[in-house]
A and B are shown apart, each in its own frame.
Chain A
């Protein structure tokens, strides 16, 4: 149990996927202007990431490893993720229209979100078991959500501040993200996996 807690803390705080691994920067800058959309995006990422990690993990262990075709990893993973995102969209539309309402707009954006493919490859590199992978995927998504929502809060305040003309928009957002990353550096080294 403690082991899974360590994975959780590492993925959420110590090696935060956005602020220390630099994955998923596009949605981090793109959909962080309002807290509501940030929450929706985080939910969609968490949902797809967990399913995608399970599927790609099984694909790696029972197909790629068995037939010794590990060199097809990148190509098969990205296809599976693209397919899965479509499937989730269709199923969600049928099964839970309410959830689809909340997450639907973000789903197409997720295929090119590098956190999903990144986590799928990372759990293979780190040699995790299936349960560890699931915990890692969920925690990474929580870390992503935490960074995104915190940042959205900062940006809502930031939009009311007067900044030099050339710093408006992305530059000032990047610098604010830098300061947030600095805060997260305080967690570094407390535990590692």
Chain B
């Protein structure tokens, strides 16, 4: 076949036809994948809820609450009509590289069952460690070299698990006077992570009045000032800390 010449009508027709065909093909693929894409999004959320609330046959009821003017999503889980726990979608805007989104599961006594990181853009190898850093320390898989030469380098013990903790006072990294060890060389990411956990707790218990974003300097001043205005149980807790300091 001979090559089409570059006259105006040829060019216009060919370009239009190619664009139309492209649009047609894409709309076909869009319809084909639309259901799957929605399903994938939904599955991601369901997986996260199942990860932080390990109950079988739960029924989920979703509601929205407002914390400091931001809307958070709560997924209350029921087994046989009885509430067994809540999964809270929480966030922090103070990440190293943007927003951090978490799903945090609480039992009926407001203890943290588990958490799952939904979205984060932290530095790979540093802030990204939050995915399992704040869970109980597990045995590190033996590396190839360790297996061959039959030795093991012990990993440093750390106090960083938030699992099982009751967030009746804001959690803080040890640098800021708290008792959670921050990720090595990623204190900002760790602070943001704990802020998201604190915010999740605040969504559960609207009586809490402390600030989720507590940094080193904010801590000292805030705690003592807040004493006057907070409910009794929180006041005792924070009051004690102020005296110590």
Contacts and interface: CB of A to CB of B under 8 A. Distances in A.
Q: Is the interface of B mostly helix, strand, loop or mixed?
A: helix
A75 B26 contact: yes
Nearest to A193: B98
Contacts of A192: 95-98
A184 to B, nearest CB: 14
A75 B22 contact: yes
A71 interface: yes
A69 B27 CA distance: 8
A192 B94 CA distance: 8
Contacts, number: 23
B58 interface: no
A55 to B, nearest CB: 18
A189 B188 CA distance: 8
A33 B105 CA distance: 56
Interface string B15-39: 0000100110011011000000000
Contacts of A15: 97
B171 to A, nearest CB: 21
A72 B27 CA distance: 8
Q: Is the interface of A mostly helix, strand, loop or mixed?
A: loop
A123 to B, nearest CB: 15
A71 B98 contact: no
A15 B97 CA distance: 9
Contacts of B30: 71
Interface in B109-168: 123
A101 interface: no
A75 B123 CA distance: 31
A188 interface: yes
A140 to B, nearest CB: 16
Nearest to A185: B123
A66 to B, nearest CB: 16
A138 to B, nearest CB: 21
Contacts of A69: 27
Contacts of B29: 71
Contacts of B27: 69, 71
A193 B41 CA distance: 24
Contacts of A193: 98
Given A71-B29, A75-B22, A192-B95, 19 more contacts: A15-B97, A69-B27, A71-B26, A71-B27, A71-B30, A72-B23, A72-B26, A75-B23, A75-B26, A79-B19, A188-B96, A188-B123, A189-B96, A189-B97, A189-B188, A192-B96, A192-B97, A192-B98, A193-B98
Interface of B: 19, 22-23, 26-27, 29-30, 95-98, 123, 188
23 contacts: A15-B97, A69-B27, A71-B26, A71-B27, A71-B29, A71-B30, A72-B23, A72-B26, A75-B22, A75-B23, A75-B26, A79-B19, A188-B96, A188-B97, A188-B123, A189-B96, A189-B97, A189-B188, A192-B95, A192-B96, A192-B97, A192-B98, A193-B98
- Across chains A and B, which 4 residue pairs bring their CB atoms closest together, nearest first? A71-B30, A189-B96, A71-B26, A192-B98
